[in-house]
């Protein structure tokens, strides 16, 4: 199985479960070995403890995934390191009951640990104004 085929279902599941209010699968996807960094579309943080707090905060902002799709633009793995560059498209019910539809540009860096790909860095930024507007409602 290729690197892309292995990580794409994990990334798509991650979007859906976070939007359903469950940060557990995202936490499980991340390494427990420092350094860990998140340059998010909304929050930026480092370290496992702060990442977990941030993921819980984000998951608590949403009430249900309407749709979540990851379009891989580029992906590669060499040895124990890999990356994806993707567009994440989401439609989600927010805490106030409104629906937000948005897209993010996301680069994710993975490290192979015990035969599993674990995230060590994620950088997300709004693809367009809809994503910027959706992120403002979460701050």
Tell me the domains of the chain and their CATH numbers: 3-136 (3.10.450.50)
CA 39 to chain centre: 11
Query: What share of the chain has pLDDT > 90, as a percent?
Result: 71
* Token pair recorded at residue 130: 């809809």
Phi, psi of 71 (to 5 degrees): -105, 110
Q: What is the pTM of this model?
A: 0.89
Q: Which residue has the higher pLDDT, 131 or 78?
A: 78
Of these ranges, 11-15, 98-102, 108-112, the one predicted with the greatest mean pLDDT is 108-112
Give the Cα separation of 124 and 35 in Å (integer): 18
119 forms bridges with which residues in the sheet?
Answer: 30, 110
Give the Cα separation of 65 and 68 in Å (integer): 7
* Token pair recorded at residue 54: 């941030």
Mean predicted lDDT score pLDDT of the chain: 90
């Amino acid at each position: 199985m290729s690197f892309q085929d292995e990580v794409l279902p994990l990334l798509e599941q991650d979007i859906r479960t976070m939007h359903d209010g469950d940060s557990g699968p995202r936490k499980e996807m991340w390494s427990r070995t420092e350094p860990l960094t998140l340059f998010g579309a909304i929050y930026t943080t480092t370290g496992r403890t702060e990442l977990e707090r941030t993921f819980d905060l984000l998951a608590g902002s949403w009430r249900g995934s309407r749709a979540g799709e990851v379009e891989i633009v580029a992906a590669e793995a060499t040895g124990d390191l890999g990356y994806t560059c993707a567009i994440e498209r989401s439609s989600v019910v927010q805490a106030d009951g409104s629906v937000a539809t948005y897209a993010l540009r996301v680069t994710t860096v993975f490290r192979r640990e015990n035969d599993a790909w674990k995230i060590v860095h994620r950088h997300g930024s709004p693809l367009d104004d809809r994503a910027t507007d959706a992120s403002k409602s979460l701050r």
